[in-house]
Homo-oligomer: A and B are copies of this chain.
Amino acid sequence: MAAQRGQRNGVGVTPPAPTAAEITTPIPRVAEVPAARERARAIPEAAVARLAVYLRVLSGIQEQGVGTVSSEELAVAAGVNSAKLRKDLSYIGSYGTRGVGYEVVVLIEEIERILGLTRKHSVAVVGIGNLGHALANYGGFPGRGFPVTCLFDVDPDLLGVPVGGLPVEHIDDIPRICAEREVSIGVIATPPPAAQIVCDRLVEAGVACILNFAPVVLQVPDHVEVRKVDLAVELQVLSFHVARRADSALEATRLAAAHQHVNGVSSTVSGNGVNGMVVS
């Protein structure tokens, strides 16, 4: 999840007064901030993430030589329903043709524009361990547009060694090098203890967007955007579902026993015979 700071996306120019949840002070509930001053630009974060997915799907479609898609087709390919997809697209404008669909090329262009993919975003990877290596070797990162321009670590054995074509530099040089190369996105792949320190240096260097792979909750100033990828959390959420599944399997058995019959639900061993449907 991410975006720790609740703050809605609004990169509000002014530091949103309320801020500081401070310490549960009762606070007299200040008047009402009219807000909504936002220049219409209010795309929900969830929609932004999906736009990136649509973009990828569209690229695939384009490569197949298809020129037009309907919201339904695109939606299925992207794994969402068409209403949501249309709503998402409506946030960026009206580029479809009623009765026909969307021109693939046009959509791709517009989404890229909104996502800011027309500029290059220089990326710095910090922490060249297993994961860092993997990231550095992606070379150019997903679909280009995100060139990795510097690598950092502290391990003396790594310093100067080229990984994926780039030499590893010392994290003490983060401020200087990142500023020089105008890094706009910092990727943290260090061990937990180093993450906050590295983060601080990146921020110091003017990096305002951070992708954090370290299992740590980073503290950053308001203007910095952090997204995190937390393997442990992902696994634990899945674990939760496994447990849940086991529970409902029991319950299902109980129910089945109670109802006595139930049609042909074969209860093959491995089978999680369930086979849902159910829908609540």
Contacts and interface: CB of A to CB of B under 8 A. Distances in A.
Interface of A: 1-21, 23-24, 33, 35-39, 41, 45-46, 48-53, 55-57, 72, 76-83, 114-117, 119, 121, 123, 129-131, 133-134, 137-138, 141-143, 145-146, 179, 184-185, 203-206, 208-211, 215, 217-225, 227-248, 251-252, 255, 265, 269-280
A114 to B, nearest CB: 7
Given A146-B235, A208-B245, A277 B20 contact: yes
Given A11-B229, A141-B235, A222-B280, 14 more contacts: A1-B10, A4-B79, A9-B241, A13-B255, A13-B265, A18-B280, A21-B280, A48-B237, A52-B233, A56-B215, A115-B237, A222-B277, A223-B275, A229-B234
Contacts of A72: 23-24
A137 B137 CA distance: 17
- Nearest first, the 6 A-B pairs at minimum CB distance are A116-B243, A2-B10, A142-B232, A221-B274, A1-B10, A130-B134
